[in-house]
Chains A and B, each alone.
Chain A
Amino acid sequence: MISIFKEDQKNLLVTLDLHEASLTNAEVFKLELLQLFETHHKHIILNMDQVEYIDSSFVGALVALLRQLMTVKKDLILVGLRKEIADLFALIRLDKVFKIYSSFDEAGSSLN
């Protein structure tokens, strides 16, 4: 479900290989990402450009992950959101808590 795209000193760039991010895969995603974080202990930049559909359960998993990462001073950054997903994030004001960038490069340069 999650594949590592690149790793640098501070960040772990991962891609979410899902078209439908929903209740059925929210828990597995959360566990996989947490495992990755525990192994690498870096900011996670999550590329979601393949995600065409997302529901509130998966959004809840993202929020829970960000909360967990923030407790250890790390961040979960989202990149490559499709328009409909970005619209949903803006609509429910999630763009106020998530750092959202268009690409890995933009996210990387803004973090560094």
Chain B
Amino acid sequence: MKANDDNKDKIDQLRTVADKQSAIEEKLDELITLLAENDFDSETVKQYQSRLSSALQHKMTIAEDLKAFEVIDKKTDASREQLLDEFSVLLEAHTFNSKATTKYLQTERNNKFILMAIGVIMITLGFAMIIMPAPPYFEMFTIFYFTPDDGVTLMDLISLIIVFAGIYVFVRSLYKKNPGAR
């Protein structure tokens, strides 16, 4: 009974979200039509632009704000003046401060370090599983025999998969671009 009520609540919530989204879409279409029908001076346009972007700004995270600046990397042959123009536009639309970016960088570095540590642990664990004697019940799953007493067991394969996964995680964390790197 309680589960049914929970499901009903969830469905109601989803319906409300869908309704809100369609209402926003509808209002946006209305706004676009109104803007197209009327003439404004540049000052009014700027004012509307800034109001709209500041309202949307609150919905963006610092990561999204900073990601917007990746567009600069693509402009490899742009002159300094062109880049400055691009920066002016980006800085109008995205707000941030050094406290937030420092926190963001610290989180990114921590994530990178954790990934590297997980990679190292997986590699060590994998090799340890290969080197250390396998439990007797794993011996029956010998896949390939070198000699009657030696071969590749299922545990060796699992260990190898763990080692390769560890190497993959480690290499990925190494090559993960450090956002603060200069």
Contact = CB atoms under 8 A, between A and B. Distances in A.
Contacts of A102: none
Given A64-B88, A70-B80, A92-B69, A56 B97 contact: yes
B72 A60 contact: no
B182 A90 contact: yes
B113 interface: no
Interface string B84-102: 1101101110111111011
A36 interface: no
Contacts of A86: 182
Given A96-B72, A97-B83, A55 B98 contact: yes
Contact of A85 (B72, B98, B104): B98
Given A63-B84, A67-B81, A87 B101 contact: yes
A56, A66, A96 — most chain B CB neighbours (10 Å): A56
Contact of B80 (A55, A64, A93, A97): A97
Interface size class of A (residues with CB under 8 A): 20 to 34
Interface in A68-84: 70, 84
Interface size class of B (residues with CB under 8 A): 20 to 34
Main secondary structure of the interface of A (DSSP, over half): helix
A70 B97 CA distance: 25
Main secondary structure of the interface of B (DSSP, over half): helix
B151 interface: no
B97 A53 contact: yes
B43 interface: no
Contacts of A54: 97-98
Contacts of B69: 91-93
Given A22-B97, A91-B105, A60 B88 contact: yes
Contacts of B85: 67
B181 interface: yes
Contacts of A59: 91
A84 B106 CA distance: 11
B88 A55 contact: no
A90 B181 contact: yes
Interface string B111-135: 0000000000000000000000000
10 closest Cβ contacts across the A-B interface?
A: A55-B97, A93-B72, A60-B91, A92-B69, A90-B182, A87-B180, A84-B102, A88-B101, A56-B95, A67-B84
Interface of A: 22, 52-57, 59-60, 63-64, 66-67, 70, 84-88, 90-97
